[in-house]
Structures are given as C-alpha cells and as structure tokens.
Amino acid sequence: MAGFVATVAPLLLLFFNSDWFFTREGYLDPWNYVGLFREYLDPDYLPEDYKLARLPWILAGFVAHSLLPPIGAASVLHAIFLCAMSLALFVGLFTLLRRSALAAVVAMWLGFYTPVHGSGGWDYHNTAAGALYLATFALLAAPSTVAGSRFGLASAGAMAALTIHTNITFVNFLPALALVYGWSVWLRVDRRPSLRALAIRAAWCLLGALVVTVVLGLINWNVGRRFLFFGFLLDIVVRFVGDPSNLKTFHLPWSSGFFWTARYLSFLVAVFLAGVAWLLTRRQRGSGEDRIATALVVQFVLMASVWIAWQSAGQVALDIDYFTFVLIPSCFIALAGLFASRWPAWCERHWLVTILTCWAILAAYLVGENMPGARAAAALVASSSFVGISALFLIPLAAALWRPSVVSFALLLATFALGNRLVAGSADYWLTDRCKMQPQVYAAIVDASSWLMKLDPLYRRVRIWFDENELIRPAEGCTVRVAHLANSIRTMAFMGYVVQQFPMPSVDAVPEGSITALTQGDPLLVVVSDQPTVLADWRRRLETLGMTATPVESHHVPVLASGFTLHSLRVSLIRDGAGER
C-alpha cells in the first residue's frame, strides 16, 4: 500500500495543471523521438539515425502512439515511466532495508523531484532510462537474485541491457550496481563470495543481456531496419570519448563557471557532500543494515566522483542538465542509505500519516503560487542560485542526519519542497497559471508534422520557412512563438529548412541561392505562419528574382483560440514568350 501511494502520488499534480507533463515546443531531439514513435514502421524515416539505438524507448512510444491519440499516448507513456521509476526505487529500497515508510518517502521525493520531469523533454529517452535503471537495481536486490537464481540474474541482465540501450551513459553505472549486489550477497552468506561464484552470476546476467539485445535486433530487422541497431551510436561514443575535442561545441569547462547557475546540480551536491561526511564520520557497527546503507551511499559518491572526472577530462557530464540526469537515480538510492540508521521510528509506525504529509507539502509547494517562504527564498538565491539552493538542501539534511528526530525530518521535508520549487523555476505546475495550454500545443505539433509527412512521404522535398518573431495567442495574455513550433514540427517531420541559418532570416534576407534551389528538382516551400501578409511578402520576393509560387495545399492547425497554417508552395521560374526569364 505504501509503495502504491508513493508511486501514483506525482500524478495527482495533473489535476491542478498538466502543462509540466508534455514536451514543450522548441525542443528538438524529443520531437525526433515522437516522429520515430509514429513512423517506426517506415524504414525511410530516420533510416541511419543514432537515435535508433534507443530502441526500448522507441518501441514503448510506438505502442502507445499506435493505440492512442497524441495527447492520450503522451500522457500514458509519460505516466507509466514516471510511476515505474518511483515504484522500482521503492521495491529495491524496501527489499534491502525492510522499511516501508522510508522506501516510500524516498521514492515519492524522486517522483516529485522536478529535474526528472521530462529531462531533455518528456519524449527524450531519459524518461525511460531512469525507470529501467532502477528496475535493474530492484531486480538485483530481490532475494532470489541475491541467492543466485539463474532466472533472477538473467532478468537483471536483460533489464540492464534495456537500460544501456535506452541511455548508453548508464554503462558507467554497472560497477555501482555490482557493488551493491556484491555487498548484498556478502550479507546473505556472511562471507565474501568467491570470484568464481561472482563470475558465474555475471555470466547469467550477460546471457540475459545478450538475449534481449538479439530480440531487439530481430524486431528492428523485421521492420526493414538494421539488426545492429546500436551501431551508429556506438561509433559516435567511441569517437567522442576517444577525442573530447569533438564535444567542444557543447562542453563547458570548469573555468566557464557554468555551475554558478546550474540549479539542477544543487540537490546532487548536497547529497554528495553529506554522503562524504557521513562516510568519514560514521561509526563502524558491522550490522547488516549498516553494511547495506554503506553500499548505497558509496555507490553514489563513487559515481559522482566519476562524473566530476569526466567533466574535468573534457566530456559533457555536468554542464548540461540532461547529461547529469543519470546521477539522479543513484543520488536517491544514496539518500535512503543516509536515512537508514537515522530514520525516526515514529515515521515508520505512522507510515500513512508520514506519506500523506509528504505528498501534501511537496504538492502544495509545486501547485501553489504564493507558498510561505517561496518569494523570500527565490530572492535569496537569485544572485547565486547554485550555492544558495545547495545550502538550502544541505543544511537541513545535515541536521536530520546528525540530530535525527521527527522535527528535523519535518524541517528537511519543508526545505526539500521549497528547494524543489526553486529548481523547477516554472509556472507549469501552478494551479493559478492562466496559460494551461501545453497539451494542445503538443497535439498541434503532432498534427502539423503528420500532415507534412503525408505531403512528402519520403521526407526529401519540403523546405520549411517561418517568421522568427511571429507569435500566436492561444489564450488571453498567453503567447507561443511560431519559431519554436516550426522548429519542433520540422524536427519531428525530419525535413529541411529553406536555409540552414539560425535564427531564420526574414523573407528579404533569405539568400538568393537558397531560393533558386527551390526551382531545382521538385522541392516544396512550406511557410508556417498565421499572418496572411507573409505569403504576399514571399510572392513579392520571388517576383523580384523572376520566380513565381503556385499554391499546392494548405493545412490549418488550431491551438485553442488561435492557430497557424502550413502553406505549401511550388516555386518555379517565370516563363514568357522568349523562354525562361
């Protein structure tokens, strides 16, 4: 019961505002995935794209979008993996620590933790990767797996493979999982397992991983795609890891000071520092619970240190939030380890009151616009968001660990809820947000992209243009940039721009060569706009270059009280009696 309440609790936020639950316009990569969800059976769609390596995520999205309309498919897909993430963490922690309230509270905190809500966009592969990683953790914690069950080990290996195929970065975390598992086996048999026994268990895990990889490859091959679906991504990883200079466009070195505004690092830093201090100052008790708690803390301190090393080596590790995401599941596992020997007995006895209180406070600070302390805390951390929010998390965490009591944990809960609100930095959760329109915007992008795919089923003819500054107004006082819509539409539809130039130039600033290219072969100019004057501007520009535009089709996409139109035009040279002009 405790696990169920903790698992579904974050979904109750949807009754107040659902905007936080959908990929926003302007994102690119997650919209590629939405395209793959809908067009996976078409081998002409992204035939050699590295994103196909994330096949478990693509297949899950394909099933959802095959059965449901866009908003329903997105809602179900995102809800399943958000709940699965919390549930897997609860199961793993309860199995190891045997404390239902502790496991439920930590799992609920993870479910409410805003940096895991659509990391990189809700349709980005992180949405599934965190859940799969924690499912691997839960399977390895299962008593049968700890006892050496071949089926349990193979299942854990298969889940680990699904995790890595969804986000290859999690391959770094295999030693962390092995550490916790080895410690669990040691605790069960009360002696260190032999290398031979561990090797046999590892072989069964490897077999499970191999079987699930072959199954995924056969599925991909059966629809006309590559059997080695992970090949393209593996090539990229080898190239980037072997030569970090390939990442210089994305990587921010420590010297850039990126971390001063990196709010997404705040809670990770707080738990890391608390974990290091706990390991250095704790008293060796030698009990089974103490050994397990130590393993849970050590695995995160170890992985955070690895991520610091990757960042220092020139890799993208901590300087982008969705690359840092992989540390979050490990962080919350460690949080439970820190709490294990400090958890108030009262919270465990009154587990329902504890869980409901957590839910009420966490939810209130996300959905309430004017919560106590929110504005004062926001002002306090405005000049140094990373340091300020890290301290907001760390100080009450340290107090709860070194002077455990119901009062200190209540203080920690309140400050976590407040810090979580500050990290979110968005009104998408607020009950009073007047611009609750993200589901409709999501559906509009899918609608527009799907129409383009029917217009150009081989994804080769369309060239998209939009006005960089144009806005639509779905509701009073609420605007959406057409440029953000168009970029996401183009990315999902896997089609080209009139000119590869950012920002998109105005009609008169589009290079003549890019316009002339529209007369060669059989391309289609698609103008994304809600302004009728835009087409007149294009006709005027084309006439000055001796060209004309013939309307082919148009498609209007409503977005609440407004909308936009896709105008497809065939551009050709003007001909007169003497021939082409």
Q: Per-residue pLDDT for 254 more than 90?
A: no
pLDDT (mean) for 260-278: 92
pLDDT at 538: 95
Supply the Cα-derived Rg of the chain in whole angstroms.
26
Q: Per-residue pLDDT for 562 more than 90?
A: yes
Pick from 9-13, 146-150, 232-236, 522-526: least confident: 232-236
Which tokens belong to 239? 């190239």
| pLDDT one-digit tens code per residue, 278-334 | 998 876 655 667 889 999 999 999 999 999 999 998 888 888 889 999 999 999 999
Contacts for 187 with CB less than 8 Å, ≥ 6 apart: 288, 291, 292
Q: Per-residue pLDDT for 578 more than 60?
A: no
pLDDT at 577: 43
Q: How many angstroms separate the CA atoms of 554 and 569, rounded?
A: 9
The torsion angle over the Cα atoms of residues 365, 266, 75 and 489, rounded to 10 degrees, is 120
pLDDT (mean) for 204-228: 96
The confidence band for 371, taking pLDDT boundaries of 50, 70 and 90, is: confident
Query: What is the share, in percent, of the chain residues with pLDDT greater than 90?
Result: 71
pLDDT at 38: 96
pLDDT at 580: 47
Contact 354, 413 (CB under 8 A): no
pLDDT (mean) for 104-113: 96
Contacts for 16 with CB less than 8 Å, ≥ 6 apart: 363, 367, 429, 430, 431
The average confidence (pLDDT) of the chain is: 90
Distance set, CA 73 to CA 13, 45, 59, 350 (Å)? 18, 20, 13, 38
Q: Per-residue pLDDT for 581 more than 70?
A: no
Backbone angles phi, psi at 55, to 5 degrees: -60, -40
The confidence band for 377, taking pLDDT boundaries of 50, 70 and 90, is: low
pLDDT at 407: 92
pLDDT at 291: 85
| pLDDT one-digit tens code per residue, 479-518 | 999 999 999 999 999 999 999 878 999 999 999 999 999 9
pLDDT at 579: 40
Tell me how far the alpha carbon of residue 474 is from its chain's centroid: 26
Between helix 351-367 and helix 406-424 the angle, nearest 10°, is 30
Q: Which residue has the higher pLDDT, 2 or 224?
A: 224
First vs last C-alpha separation in the chain: 77
Q: Per-residue pLDDT for 471 more than 90?
A: yes
The β-bridge relationship of strands 471-475 and 478-481 is antiparallel
Backbone angles phi, psi at 555, to 5 degrees: -145, 120
pLDDT (mean) for 145-171: 95
What is the CB neighbour count within 10 angstroms for residue 221?
13
Q: Per-residue pLDDT for 374 more than 80?
A: no
Classify burial at 243, counting beta carbons within 10 Å of its beta carbon; exposed 0-12, middle 13-18, buried 19 or more: exposed
Q: Which residue has the higher pLDDT, 559 or 342?
A: 559
Q: How many angstroms separate the CA atoms of 488 and 505, rounded?
A: 17
Q: Which residue is it, tokens 């294990």?
A: 340
**Selection from 222, 221, 185, 190 nearest residue 205 by Cα:** 185
The confidence band for 70, taking pLDDT boundaries of 50, 70 and 90, is: very high
pLDDT at 396: 93
pLDDT (mean) for 520-532: 92
Write out the H or E segment, with its range, that includes residue 110. helix 100-112
The confidence band for 239, taking pLDDT boundaries of 50, 70 and 90, is: confident
Tell me how far the alpha carbon of residue 224 is from its chain's centroid: 28
Q: Write the DSSP string, 172-199.
A: GGHHHHHHHHHHHHHHHHTSPPPHHHHH
pLDDT (mean) for 354-369: 90
Write out the H or E segment, with its range, that includes residue 481. strand 478-481
Q: Per-residue pLDDT for 80 more than 70?
A: yes
pLDDT (mean) for 126-151: 95
Q: How many angstroms separate the CA atoms of 296 and 154, rounded?
A: 23
Per this entry, what is the length of the chain?
581
Contact 110, 85 (CB under 8 A): yes
